[in-house]
């Protein structure tokens, strides 16, 4: 069974709970630690998985601080400001409630390296005996206010009418902090099963209806663990590519890092403005590593992950607060986009068996730089993306897939 992917550990929650994997991960991390930080999102399975981690950690004599319901960026914030050997957030990010996962960070708030992941895998494959040691201590901490105050200055002078869609996720715990800044929140009442359920960053059209109905200036969609943001107005939806373009221009940045998933129009528009663009494989850790290597102040992904060298972890709330500060001075704008066609094929679908035929067909129609094929790192799907300026050939692609599915 596959548990590890591009964003840590992710699987069906029942598979994580019914295996001994979670406890063994706790034991492994404890063997290299004195103190570990743990948070979790609003899924009904998250507290159960936290208990399994606790069992593995405290029985090895290691102390734990538990933040409670916690957006992933809060884990990173605490790790940058206090001393822990590891930080863990139990979350499956934007996935449905019946999935769950474990994101693990090192003492510097970086996602753990591939070498540590391999060590964990090797540990899971071997039957290591663990002796019960003196029990570690468990402490519950609250860092919400400290974290929020770290960028409250961006919101103090807000005159815009704003709404946050909290996706019934981890940032729901912060809902009482926003009203003082002319920010309303919706989808802020998690029940264990409604996280990401037709709400949040994957469903911005639903927030757009709210923006129109109540005449908001802007709406911001978060995902379940609070590391993505999508911006909404009455007329448009602005993804990570749009926000990177706006931020790069408004902050006068001269270099940005994007991924192969970015719209080709973004790269063209940035380069036309004299802004250097570095393109890397998909994954926020790859973006951040390239930013550090090139000293690029901004990077991100179309999905809504935004990274800054001075705030080097993807944070829905920090990014939104910075955007709100800028939007009070200059309205949102974007670039001329390439037309796109996206297709996700479930690996258990009959179409997946025709993957090579599909790739050959598309490669015969488009230059390589206009195509993206990849196995998802977080879901059981094969992703296809086509970009073009020619609407007629894009229609031909849609017809091609319609015919395949109707065979």
Please identify which of the residues 33, 45, 76, 93 carries the catalytic annotation: 93
What distance in Å separates the CA atoms of residue 270 and residue 160, rounded to the nearest whole number? 28
What distance in Å separates the CA atoms of residue 103 and residue 56, rounded to the nearest whole number? 16
Contact 314, 305 (CB under 8 A): yes
What distance in Å separates the CA atoms of residue 13 and residue 316, rounded to the nearest whole number? 24
Residue 89 DSSP SS3: strand
- Give start and end residues of each alpha helix (H) in 195-354: 204-214, 240-250, 264-272, 284-294, 316-327
Helices (H) and strands (E) in the chain, counts: 13, 19
Phi, psi dihedral angles at 72 (to 5 degrees): -55, -40
Annotated active-site residue 93? The verdict is: yes
75: closest CA among 90, 61, 55?
Answer: 90
SS (H, E, C) 341-389: EEEEEECCCHHHHHHHHHHHHHHHHCCHHHEEEEECCCCCEEEEEEEEC
Residue 165 DSSP SS3: strand
Catalytic center residues: 93
């Amino acid at each position: 069974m596959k548990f590890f992917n591009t964003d840590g550990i992710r699987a069906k929650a029942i598979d994580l709970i019914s295996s001994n994997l979670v406890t063994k991960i706790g034991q492994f991390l404890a063997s290299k630690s004195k103190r570990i930080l743990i948070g979790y999102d609003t899924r009904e399975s998250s507290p159960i998985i936290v208990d399994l981690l606790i069992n593995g950690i405290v029985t090895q004599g290691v102390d734990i601080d538990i933040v409670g319901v916690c957006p992933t960026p809060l884990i990173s914030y605490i790790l940058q400001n206090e001393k822990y050997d590891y930080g863990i957030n139990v979350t499956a990010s934007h996935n449905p409630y019946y999935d769950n996962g474990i994101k693990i960070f090192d003492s510097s708030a970086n996602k753990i390296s591939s070498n540590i992941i391999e060590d964990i895998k090797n540990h899971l494959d071997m039957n290591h005996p663990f002796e019960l040691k003196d029990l570690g201590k468990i402490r519950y901490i609250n860092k919400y206010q400290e974290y929020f105050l770290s960028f409250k200055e961006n919101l103090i002078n807000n005159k815009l009418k704003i709404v946050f869609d909290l996706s019934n996720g981890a940032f729901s715990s912060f809902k009482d902090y926003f009203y003082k800044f002319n920010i309303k929140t919706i989808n802020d009442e998690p029940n264990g099963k409604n996280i990401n359920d037709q709400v949040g960053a994957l469903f911005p059209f639903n927030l757009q209806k709210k923006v129109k109905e109540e005449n908001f200036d802007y709406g911001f969609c978060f995902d379940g663990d609070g590391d993505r943001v999508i911006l909404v107005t009455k007329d448009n939806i602005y993804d990570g590519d749009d926000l990177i373009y706006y931020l790069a221009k408004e902050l006068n940045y001269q270099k940005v890092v994007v991924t192969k998933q970015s719209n080709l129009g973004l790269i063209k528009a940035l380069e036309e403005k004299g802004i250097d663009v570095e393109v890397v494989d998909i994954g926020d850790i790859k973006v951040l590593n390239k930013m550090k290597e090139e000293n690029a102040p901004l990077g991100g992904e179309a999905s809504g992950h935004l990274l800054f060298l001075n705030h080097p972890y993807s944070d829905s709330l920090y990014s939104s607060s910075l955007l709100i500060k800028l939007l009070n001075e200059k309205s949102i704008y974007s670039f001329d986009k390439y037309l796109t066609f996206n297709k996700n094929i479930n690996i258990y679908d009959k179409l997946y068996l025709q993957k090579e035929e599909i790739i050959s067909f598309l490669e015969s129609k488009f230059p390589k730089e206009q195509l993206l094929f990849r196995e998802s790192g977080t879901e059981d799907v094969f992703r296809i993306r086509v970009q073009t300026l020619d609407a007629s050939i894009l229609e031909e692609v849609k017809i091609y897939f319609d015919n395949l599915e109707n065979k």
